Each structure stands twice: as structure tokens, then as C-alpha cells.
Structure 1
């Protein structure tokens, strides 16, 4: 088996039903694998310890978020690159080799990602332009509900190029940012950047990473000639994750789009009010725990946006010195 100069880092949280396929594929590629579990309650650590003894396992007593968990796994890595792989993503050995070879053969590239394909064969749009006020407004107020071909018609040039890169596979091309569900990054670059920004509990770490890579003159490459299977959204419900999504969005704009932070914050507040109203109406028609969770989520999002302060959110959060290495 050809040795791949990379270490795979997998972060889990209640991922027992997905992680086996993920780990089997990574180990079959000959990769050292580090798994950081964020306080799962479904038996994920026990399963990994029993069935995958070759995996370096670290179990956190609390959910410390994705970015900090990745930084825990990064401690002491000696390979030339790091593969970040979600537990609901299956990365074939050929794809792992292709990603690492792209970093080896193209010294100008710092981050590279494969084509992502759902289990039903559909191709995911996983390469994107950096977000702007326009893209956020479109996402907040309905454009995300439109089919991809329709959205493409109303998109700017950079967004159309990203759609084409994903949906019309061809030559590798540079893009603004790629999905963190599966990507490879140079270890020295990630360490120089101080790891992932731990100010993001989940979401936006990938866009932040790629933006900072570009600022270090390290290109981000989308590699459609290799692919991985991604289920997506497997370990958390929307009611749990939505507040983290909006908190991370506000942080990203505070740090990198300060001139539009105010309008984005206002858009989030309005969307939270609309979401609360719609969730309450749905609860009247279909009462139950799902409706109540949505109401609580939108109220929490409103609270987050109402309290958001641009100066505070824009502060960098360094890699924590308390992040232990895997054993």
C-alpha cells in the first residue's frame, strides 16, 4: 500500500450510525487517523475504541465545537498535510491520494477539496465565492429555496463559476472557498494560521480558513477529478445547529466584512422574527416538539443577533493552549 503523507482528523458528535464507513475508508487508504469526540451520548467513542483500535481517540467531556476539536487533533501532527473529514463523509483511497498529490505537485496551493457526491448520485455545490451582503440577503429571504439552475441565473459571475466548477466537472480550478466536509490543507500553513479559529463553534470555519489561506498567497483548489460521498447533516437537528450558524455568520462579517456587519445583523434579526412567527403558526397547525424546537431556535437566534457587538466578534481567538494531543 502506498503511504499517503497526511493525517486524517475526524470530529464526531453522536455519529455512531455514520462513522464506521468513514473510518474504514480512511484506514484502507493507509492514513493515520485521529478522532476527537465531542461528548457523544450515543456510544460513538465505545464503538470506535472497540472496532477501530488503530484510530487515535480523544474524548472530550463537553462539546467544545468543531474548530477547537480539530486543533486538538492537530497537536503534534508530523505529516505534510492534514485531511479534515466529516464522519458522514466517505473518502476513497484514490481521492485521499489525489488530494495529497495536488498539494505536493502544486506548491502554490494550500487547500484542496474533492467533488462531493450524495448517496443518490447528486453532485453537491461545495465550492463557493466568499459571502457578501447580497448573498446573505438572498439566502435569508428565500433564494436558498430555489433549485440550483434557477439560482444560477440570478447569481453573479463568481457564483456562476463556482456552480459550473461543481456541476460541470472538468479541469481543477481555483475557487474562493470549499466545504470543510472534506478537504486537505498543508500542515505548515494550518499551523502558521494558528489552527482553525476557535471563535466559531461550528460553521464558517472552512470559509474563514480559505480566506486566511488566500491572504497568505496560498491558493484554494477545487479538484473535480476525484470525489467523496457525503451524506450531510447527519449528527444534529436544525433546531440545534441554526443558532450556531447565525452566530458564526455574524462573526465572519464582523471580522472580514465590517462595513456590512450592520445590515447583515439587521437581516438576521428580521429573519429571526419571521422564523419565529412562521414556527408559531406551524405549531398551531401541527403542534408537537418539532415546532417548539423551531420556536426556541429562532428566539435564540434573535437573542444572539440582538446582543452581537462588532468589536467583540471581530477579535481573533487563538488555538487554545489546553488542547491536548490524541493518544
Structure 2
């Protein structure tokens, strides 16, 4: 007699098959559909994924390009939906959650498909990595904490969350606009504007080893604890995508505050890896941050003129794991 598929866990990987296997291990033998999206990195890595997938019984999604985190997660959610799964847990490859806590998250969504729900995210040392955050729509700055006024909007980290597969896809998913960073802020805002609700389950915990896939992908101001060794793509996409978000989600009359706050934000992103890194590696820090800021300003200019900005997404994706939040 056929059985109804259970929930799915979706992991997006780029060159991190072993980490992904650790993230998926708690769900083995539980009735969960385990979906791994392997963004193309090399032939050797693809073969590792094929071997692990066959041995572990994963459902594999194998794009022939590096999709980035958002588009990769969308592909995994679509595969889970096609397998009959109603609810998905999206999980970073360098994050772990118990099957029990994951089950509580998907039970919330099964009871209310309008809910986008996440656990508290902590480091292996037990410190808070994501314990709730808000975006100030006047300035485009994020911070940890709760809304303090009408211009503060909450958002949910993409490191670990549960969602209705069909509702997510009906909304357009993350989309491929951001590649890395700010796609979870964008999703949270679009989700609530479409009538959905956000929830942070403070009684549930995900452990995130930020840097397990790419050192330095943790964010400040609600995006995680700053670490050393930020990549060029970290600096580029954090500065670019803040202004891309404004071009897509902020009314023209309210973008002035975002522009005025941009120099300070760019400086903040630069310093997340430490002053020494800025001085010693300007081509990996200052130049990408300036390029990202310029690209974001082009998105704003295009939105103002009503034209589409050129897709300037860099093709230099070497060494970046797009499951890392």
C-alpha cells in the first residue's frame, strides 16, 4: 500500500559533499526525503556526490553550473515537491539539527502553510549566530533583535528554516537574483507582503559551524559573528545585494536613506574581516566592496529609470560554497 511521503530536507552544496553528508545524517531512516543539490564545482566532486548519493539513498539534483544558494535551494524544493513532499526544511551543509527539532519545525508548517519558521542558530560553542534580526527600511541596515518601530521588519535566516514547498514555489522561491547574501531578507519581506507569517522557535536549535564551508560567511548585525578571512565574493555580494534589495523592495521615495547609509555600510562590510585584512589584501577586500557598491547603485539607477539593469553577476565562483549562510 503506497504511503504518503514525509517531509524533505534540502541541502545545497558546492564542493562540500562530506559536510552535506553530516548535515543529512540525522535524517537517515526517519522517513524524510533527503535532497542534495550539488552545484557544479568539479568532475571529482560530482563523482563523490554520485557515490554518496547512491550509498545513502539521497535524491540528487545535479545542475551543470553553480546556481548560488537561492536558485539551488529553489531547485531542491522543486525536486522535493515533485517527489510528493509538502513541507521542506532547508539546511546549510555546515549546519546540523536533530530530527526531533526539525520535526517540530515541519509540524508547524504542516499545521499552517502560511508560516515560514526557523530555529535559533548557534555556533558549536553555544553562542548565538542568529537569534532574530530586523531590517530598518529607512536606512537598509540590519541588526539583531526585535522590531523597535514601524520601519523595522523582521527576517529569518536562510541557514535553517521550514516552509511549504508549494507556497514557496508559488511565491517565486528565492529566485536567482542574489546568488549569495540578502536573499533570505528578500524572501522574508516578500513572504510577509504576500500574507505569510514569520516565526522564530526559540525552543529549537540549529548548530551552525560558520566557516565549515567558507571561512568568513557569518554576518554581523544579525547575520552572524564576524570572522577573519572574508572572501572577495563576500565583500562583493554583501555590498551589491543590499542595494539590489532596495531596487526591488523599497519605494523610490524611501531610497534616499539607503543611499546615505551606503558608505558606512560598505565600510562595515570591509571591517568584518578585520583591519589587517583590508590593509594586506585590498584586491580581495576593498576592490570587490567598491565593485559591489557600484553594481548595486546601477540597480537603483535602473529601477529609477524603469529599465532592467545588466546582470553583472561575477563568474569568479572558485572556492565558494553556496550552502553557506
TM range (shorter): 0.7 to 0.9
> Counterpart of 1:91?
97
Name whichever of 258-267 and 54-63 sits farther off. 258-267
Name whichever of 108-117 and 39-48 sits farther off. 39-48
TM-score w.r.t. structure 2 length? 0.73
Post-superposition CA distance 1:92-120 (Å, at most 9, x none): 10011100111233x27421111212101
Post-superposition CA distance 1:14-49 (Å, at most 9, x none): 324522310212335432122112222495433332
> Counterpart of 1:170?
none
Name whichever of 181-190 and 67-76 sits farther off. 67-76
Provide the aligned C-alpha RMSD in A: 3.6
| Residue pairs, 1:34-183, within 5 angstroms | 34-41=35-42, 43-53=44-54, 54-76=57-79, 77=81, 78-105=84-111, 107=112, 109-134=114-139, 136=141, 157=148, 176-183=154-161
Is 1:14 aligned to residue 5 of structure 2? no
Would you say the 8 A contact 1:4–1:100 is kept in 2? no
| Residue pairs, 1:145-294, within 5 angstroms | 157=148, 176-236=154-214, 237-258=230-251, 259-269=253-263, 272=266, 282=276, 287=280, 290-294=281-285
Name whichever of 195-204 and 23-32 sits farther off. 23-32
Structure whose residues are more often helix by fraction: 1
Q: Distance in 1 between matches of 2:120 and 2:32?
A: 20
User: Secondary structure at the residue paired with 1:211?
Assistant: helix
When the two structures are aligned, how many residues end up with a matched partner? 283
Structure possessing the higher relative contact order (Cα contacts under 8 Å, 6 or more residues apart): 1
Q: Distance in 2 between matches of 1:316 and 1:25?
A: 44
Instruction: Tell me how far 1:249 sits from its aligned partner.
Output: 1.0
Instruction: Tell me how far 1:156 sits from its aligned partner.
Output: 6.1
Residue segments in structure 1 that go unaligned for 5+ positions in a row:
163-174, 318-327
Instruction: Tell me how far 1:198 sits from its aligned partner.
Output: 2.1
Q: Distance in 2 between matches of 1:316 and 1:102?
A: 39
Post-superposition CA distance 1:60-102 (Å, at most 9, x none): 3322222211222232412111111111111210011100111
Would you say the 8 A contact 1:282–1:291 is kept in 2? no
TM-score w.r.t. structure 1 length? 0.73
Describe the shift of the 1:221–1:278 C-alpha distance in structure 2 as closer, same or farther (beyond 3 A): closer
User: Secondary structure at the residue paired with 1:198?
Assistant: coil
Would you say the 8 A contact 1:116–1:123 is kept in 2? yes
Would you say the 8 A contact 1:9–1:70 is kept in 2? yes
Describe the shift of the 1:270–1:207 C-alpha distance in structure 2 as closer, same or farther (beyond 3 A): closer
Describe the shift of the 1:123–1:277 C-alpha distance in structure 2 as closer, same or farther (beyond 3 A): closer
Q: Distance in 1 between matches of 2:232 and 2:92?
A: 20
Post-superposition CA distance 1:160-182 (Å, at most 9, x none): xx9xxxxxxxxxxxx83211100
| Residue pairs, 1:292-307, within 5 angstroms | 292-307=283-298
User: Secondary structure at the residue paired with 1:157?
Assistant: coil
Instruction: Tell me how far 1:309 sits from its aligned partner.
Output: 2.9
